């Protein structure tokens, strides 16, 4: 965690899911005053509010009206309905969302001060996140509020960068490949192993080493395995083992083909 400074904005959290929970705890620990938590569900709002010692509401029209910054961490699909109601609470405040794929322009015409505070990380409520190493990508509609968002994010991270909405869309889709899709591969791995009486834990050293290698090598350089070697005998044998798992077999074919293409393009 970065050192506390004299700068300490007051914050309202709009949302109480994974992202809001981690951001709320981190800003609270950094000395910011969390004035309120809003969530559509009372259970999640109450849980987060009690954790960081602030009031909560499930009524968007009753949100605290004196915060410096309102941080919106909700499903993308509800933003267009919630945001026009939210901004009515405080016309002088800075409003930001945390979504990777939503443009800053979603705020346009609703309020004068707005932006994006996007943390590039995967969040689960049951795991603590070291925000010092989380990269934040920010955007605002004015130079002054860009500076405010930079100072705000810097309270909890040493890695704060400006990124446009177009750039952030590519950050988000890249994160889907690097995190969400990679984790789904682990799920398939666990399924295949458990189906044959083997523990997923046997893969953890391999997973850890694979992740560690790309700190030092390019992903293409770090690639190993039968597709990288173009070993058709092993790949054909693997596919025959997946006769009863046609969807997994198709993934195996497509990913192996993609690996070969990337290897060929980087020779």
5 domain residue, yes or no: no
Same domain, 126 and 212: no
The pTM is what? 0.87
Same domain, 18 and 135: yes
Tell me the CA distances in angstroms from 197 to 191, 194, 200, one per residue in order. 10, 5, 10
Same domain, 106 and 202: no
Which residues form the domain of 129?
10-163
Q: Which of 139, 163, 187 is the last residue before a domain boundary?
A: 163
CATH number of 130's domain = 3.40.50.720
Tell me the CA distances in angstroms from 135 to 138, 156, 196, 224, 263, one per residue in order. 10, 10, 40, 28, 29
Q: How many domains does the chain have?
A: 2
Same domain, 19 and 73: yes
Same domain, 83 and 123: yes
Q: For each of the chain's 267 residues, which pLDDT tens digit applies? A: 444 458 899 999 999 999 999 999 999 999 999 999 999 999 999 999 999 999 999 999 999 999 999 999 999 999 999 999 999 999 999 999 999 999 999 999 999 999 999 999 988 887 888 899 999 999 999 999 999 999 999 999 999 999 999 999 999 999 999 999 999 999 999 999 999 999 999 999 999 999 999 999 999 999 999 999 999 999 999 999 999 999 999 999 999 999 999 988 765
Same domain, 81 and 121: yes
Dump pLDDT digits (tens) for 209-258.
999 999 999 999 999 999 999 999 999 999 999 999 999 999 999 999 99
HEC secondary structure over 59-78: CHHHCCCCCCEEEECCCHHH
How far apart are alpha carbons 11 and 35 in whole angstroms?
A: 6
Same domain, 133 and 252: no
Dump pLDDT digits (tens) for 132-154.
999 999 999 999 999 999 999 99
Q: What is the DSSP string of 142-166?
A: SHHHHHHHHHHHHTT-SEEEE--HH
Ramachandran quadrant class, 233 (left: phi over 0; alpha: psi -120 to 50; beta: rest): alpha
Same domain, 101 and 138: yes
59 domain residue, yes or no: yes
Same domain, 156 and 185: no
Burial (CB count within 10 angstroms: exposed 0-12, middle 13-18, buried 19+), residue 242: middle
């Amino acid at each position: 965690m970065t050192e506390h400074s004299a700068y300490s904005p007051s914050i309202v959290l709009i949302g109480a899911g994974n992202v809001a929970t981690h951001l709320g705890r981190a800003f609270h620990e950094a000395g910011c005053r969390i004035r309120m938590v809003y969530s559509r569900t009372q259970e999640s709002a109450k849980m987060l509010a009690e954790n960081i010692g602030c009031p909560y509401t499930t009524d968007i029209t009753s949100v605290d009206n004196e915060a410096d910054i309102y941080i919106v961490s909700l499903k993308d699909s509800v933003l267009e309905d919630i945001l026009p109601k939210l901004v009515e609470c405080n016309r002088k405040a800075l409003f930001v969302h945390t979504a990777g794929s939503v443009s800053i322009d979603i705020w346009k015409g609703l309020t004068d001060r707005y932006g994006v505070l996007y943390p590039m990380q995967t969040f689960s409520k049951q795991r603590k996140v070291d925000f010092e190493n989380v990269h934040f990508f920010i955007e605002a509609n004015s130079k002054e509020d860009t500076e405010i968002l930079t100072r705000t994010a810097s309270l909890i991270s040493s890695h704060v960068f400006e990124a446009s909405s177009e750039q952030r869309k590519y950050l988000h889709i890249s994160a889907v490949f690097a995190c969400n899709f990679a984790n789904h591969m682990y799920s398939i791995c666990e399924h295949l192993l458990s189906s044959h009486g083997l523990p997923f834990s046997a893969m953890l050293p391999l997973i850890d080493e694979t992740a560690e290698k790309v700190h030092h090598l390019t992903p293409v350089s770090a690639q190993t395995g039968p597709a990288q070697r173009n070993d058709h005998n092993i790949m054909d044998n693997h596919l025959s083992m997946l006769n009863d798992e046609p969807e997994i077999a198709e993934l195996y074919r497509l990913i192996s083909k993609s690996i070969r293409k990337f290897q060929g393009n980087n020779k």
